[in-house]
Amino acid sequence: MLVRCAHCKTDIALYQKVDKGRLLRMYLERIVRSSVDLSNKPAVLHCPNCNQHIATRMTLKRKSTEAYVMVRGAYNTRFL
């Protein structure tokens, strides 16, 4: 699944989604490729082109994994 900025249509990440439905969270271990440097795990994910706020990093209690919680309307998705 390709995640793009809704404002400027810049590719943000290539993500491996498992189930059907909307993209609400992007788990860090399932991000295949990203145009943003995720090596230092930024707290907020911004579009590299227009600086639009796309997602916020959180640690989920239930699974104790880190994921980006997506901001509605700030991104578009497309299956490849």
Structural domain boundaries, residue 54 = 2-78
Gap between the Cα atoms of 77 and 11, Å rounded:
10
Residue 55 has pLDDT above 80, yes or no: yes
Q: Domain count of the chain?
A: 1
Q: What percent of the chain has pLDDT over 70?
A: 100
Is-above-0.85 flag for pTM?
yes
Helices (H) and strands (E) in the chain, counts: 0, 8
Return the biggest CA–CA distance within the chain. Answer: 34
Gap between the Cα atoms of 73 and 8, Å rounded:
12
Residue 3: phi and psi, rounded to 5, are -105, 125
Gap between the Cα atoms of 68 and 56, Å rounded:
5
pLDDT tens by residue, 33-44: 999 888 888 899
Residue 61 has pLDDT above 90, yes or no: no
